[in-house]
Structure 1
Amino acid sequence: MSRLNHQWISQLPIKKITNVKPVSGGDINEAYQITTPDKKYFMKVQPNKTAKYFGHEINGLKALGKAIRAPKPLYNGQINGDAYLVLNWIDAGYQGSQSELGQLVAKMHSQTNDKFGFVDNHETGALNKTNNWDDNWSRFYVEQRLEPEIEACEKLGRWNKWRQQHMDNMISAFRKYYQNHEVVPSLCHGDLWSGNYMFDTEGHPLLIDPDAVYGDREYDLAMTTIFGGFNDEFYQAYQQTFPFDDGLQDRLQWYRFFYLCLHLILFGETYGGSVDSILGGF
């Protein structure tokens, strides 16, 4: 909090600020609530970054916001070498409808594009994700998602011959399947775990913190199955709104791998067993 002194706060493009206090929601960024006589704001701060640090999130929120409920980016800039992003404040509720959440995600996935990718790339400390436009899903997923992960694992010493052998088998099966199965590029959240949805005080759901990409909607659905937080009502409502394609459960492993391997990169061999469990099936 010492970073945000009066001199720092006075440079924000918000008038009559009466209070700034730290709040939860800052796993990667520092997070604050800003209060004025008229309204509240949610602000993220990333020390020692330029304003464009938040560009991917801003573009993702704008894309989601055209179709579903999501926070609105209001201000973005840099103060004293720190990047900031200001969003509208949303009071959180603790009870909400999983059915409505399922409908919300299905509606997001119904927004389509003619190619896979996104308007910008996403660089993180762990992995640089390119989102270059491609009309071939298997090529996009292998070259712009899986191969960068393998490279990161190798640099960290978290890869071996066994993993590479089974990875090659998995990629071969993946490519073979999608030679004969068309995928429509759907707007995906990109990090759809339970920490990235919330309910407002009226119980309506919204999605936050996107890592947006136009991809296979099953890439998003796989993430919902890893850490919990999505129940039968969610999947039933999704299915009614945007029916699943046959054989979904078999394909989810390809996408669960991406998220679990990312956790292997971030947190180490705690996730090695989960990664090996998937690879062992190929």
Structure 2
Amino acid sequence: MQLTTKWLAQLPVSEITRAIPVSGGDINAAFRIETADQSYFLKVQPQRDERFFAHEIAGLRLLGAVITTPQVIATGTIDGDGYLVLSWLDSGTGSQYALGQAVAAVHQQHQAQFGLDHDFTFGKLPKINHWQSDWATFYTEQRLDVLVKLASQNHLWSTNREHHYQRLRQELLADPYMHQVQPSLLHGDLWSGNYLFTSTGTPALIDPDVFYGDREMDLAMTTIFGGFDEDFYRGYQAAYPLAPGSQQRLPRYQLYYLLAHLNLFGETYGPAVDHILDQY
């Protein structure tokens, strides 16, 4: 996406000198916009209005109460394109141990129920967040079932996958642990591309997809693509120890993110999904 001078002039940021495209994932067009004395991070959602960013803004504000995040500067719609202007965080290096402790601080923010006060259905993967008092019900019905149905619609499901999934589903619903989980604030997409260290070494989180759930779900995401070392997990455990059996429960949460990637990127992720399903 190319931003015209006319488009940029409508942003509530004075005297922009240039806009530089930056890597922003496959969801938004992303730019570093510069003024004479400051830089900002700009996300644009072409031909979708500012409502697209409401969920991210809510997440940044929830996370920002306990950890460093980009600050929300402005949001709106220009010529049909939704935009979000955030503060620019200069990146540096920092401690994985400190990052683990910072994520633990996020997870120590609790709620009475599981979910969130709004759904997010503007993206490719719908997030059905209405409140549930029971984690087993929330995770099976509002997370796994949603992606399984989508995979079926996308012709990425099979009778074999369905057979094993139903066995896993019944195990989840019957597991006493699943009915004892305390709702924790989750980042929701905690892979290595969504954390950074500021220029002063402070851990920061970006691009949240928040809801209240089992904190082990966030940690499962950290194990799929790498980028978190043993110091991260030591820092986390020192601040907020996990319940016994967390390693054994890991695959059931890895499955959610692998199903997400199956739907987004196709059968490349099928073998990883099958590896987990075949255990049930």
User: In structure 2, what is the equivalent of residue 272 of structure 1?
Assistant: 270
User: In structure 2, what is the equivalent of residue 71 of structure 1?
Assistant: 70
User: In structure 1, what is the equivalent of residue 229 of structure 2?
Assistant: 231
Task: Give runs of aligned pairs for residues 187-198 of structure 1, distance below 5 A.
Answer: 187-198=185-196
How many angstroms does 1:179 deviate by?
Answer: 6.6
Q: Give the Cα separation in 1 of the matches to 2:206 and 2:121.
A: 18
**Runs of 4+ residues over 4 Å off in structure 1:** none
Q: What amino acid is aligned across from residue 59 of structure 1 in structure 2?
A: A
Task: Please say which of residues 75-84 and 120-129 is displaced more in the overlay.
Answer: 120-129
8 Å Cα contact 1:138/1:178 also seen in 2 = no
User: In structure 2, what is the equivalent of residue 81 of structure 1?
Assistant: 80
Q: Give the Cα separation in 2 of the matches to 1:123 and 1:72.
A: 24
User: Tell me, which stretches of 5 or more residues in structure 2 are unaligned?
Assistant: none
Q: TM-score, normalised by structure 2?
A: 0.97
Q: What amino acid is aligned across from residue 163 of structure 1 in structure 2?
A: R
Of 128, 131, 134, which aligns to 1:130?
A: 128
Q: Give the Cα separation in 1 of the matches to 2:215 and 2:146.
A: 21
Of 222, 238, 241, which aligns to 2:239?
A: 241
8 Å Cα contact 1:25/1:31 also seen in 2 = yes
Structure 2 CA distance for partners of 1:230 and 1:276, relative to 1, 3 Å? same
Q: What amino acid is aligned across from residue 204 of structure 2 in structure 1?
A: L
* 2:209 maps to 1:208: no
User: In structure 1, what is the equivalent of residue 21 of structure 2?
Assistant: 22
User: In structure 1, what is the equivalent of residue 259 of structure 2?
Assistant: 261
SS in structure 1 at match of 2:175 = helix
Structure 2 CA distance for partners of 1:180 and 1:266, relative to 1, 3 Å? closer
How many angstroms does 1:261 deviate by?
Answer: 0.8
Q: Give the Cα separation in 1 of the matches to 2:171 and 2:160.
A: 17
Q: What amino acid is aligned across from residue 175 of structure 2 in structure 1?
A: Y
Task: Give runs of aligned pairs for residues 179-194 of structure 1, distance below 5 A.
Answer: 181-194=179-192
SS in structure 1 at match of 2:173 = helix
How many angstroms does 1:124 deviate by?
Answer: 4.7
After superposition, the C-alpha distances for 1:14-54 in whole angstroms (9 at most, x for unaligned) are 11222222122243111111112231110000101011000
Q: Give the Cα separation in 1 of the matches to 2:96 and 2:129.
A: 30
Of 153, 156, 159, which aligns to 2:154?
A: 156
After superposition, the C-alpha distances for 1:128-169 in whole angstroms (9 at most, x for unaligned) are 111001111111111110111111111111111111111011
User: In structure 2, what is the equivalent of residue 51 of structure 1?
Assistant: 50
Of 166, 169, 187, which aligns to 1:168?
A: 166
Q: TM-score, normalised by structure 1?
A: 0.96
After superposition, the C-alpha distances for 1:173-207 in whole angstroms (9 at most, x for unaligned) are 11111377411100000000001001111222101
How many angstroms does 1:275 deviate by?
Answer: 0.4
Aligned length: 280
Q: Give the Cα separation in 1 of the matches to 2:129 and 2:193.
A: 23
Q: Give the Cα separation in 1 of the matches to 2:24 and 2:177.
A: 41
Q: Give the Cα separation in 2 of the matches to 1:79 and 1:17.
A: 16
Let me know the Cα RMSD of the aligned residues. 1.2
Q: Give the Cα separation in 1 of the matches to 2:89 and 2:158.
A: 45
How many angstroms does 1:242 deviate by?
Answer: 0.1
Q: Give the Cα separation in 2 of the matches to 1:40 and 1:113.
A: 35
User: Tell me, which stretches of 5 or more residues in structure 1 are unaligned?
Assistant: none
SS in structure 2 at match of 1:103 = helix
SS in structure 2 at match of 1:122 = coil
